[in-house]
Amino acid sequence: MAAQQDKPLYAGGCLLFVGFLVGAAIGIAVDQPSIGTMIGVAVGAGIAVLLWVMRRQR
């Protein structure tokens, strides 16, 4: 089986996870871990959706 090297892969789940961790860390720093986590996940999801939409337009 030959790998499809001409199609780059985008990992949206990784962006959600990173957003979760960064948001929680920033939230802990400002004494609001729940809000930080929710904002981090929302930003990560937004970036993942943006990448998905950009990929579908190609």
Question: How many Å separate Cα 50 from the centre of its chain?
Answer: 10
| CA 58/CA 39 separation, integer angstroms | 29
User: What's the pLDDT at 3?
Assistant: 56
Give the contacts of 32 (CB within 8 A, at least 6 positions apart).
none
The per-residue pLDDT for range 1-58, each reduced to its tens digit, is 555 555 666 677 888 899 999 999 999 999 999 999 999 999 999 998 998 888 887 7
26: containing domain: 12-57
How many Cα atoms sit within 13 Å of 24 on the Cβ side? 6
Let me know if residue 3 belongs to a domain. no
Is 2 part of a structural domain of the chain?
no
Q: Is residue 50 part of a domain?
A: yes
Residue 32 lies in a domain: yes
What stretches of 1-58 show up as alpha helix (H) in DSSP?
12-29, 33-57
In a domain, 1, yes or no: no
| Helices 12-29/33-57 angle, 10° precision | 150
* This prediction's pTM: 0.76
- Number of domain units in the chain: 1
Domain membership of residue 29 (yes or no) is yes
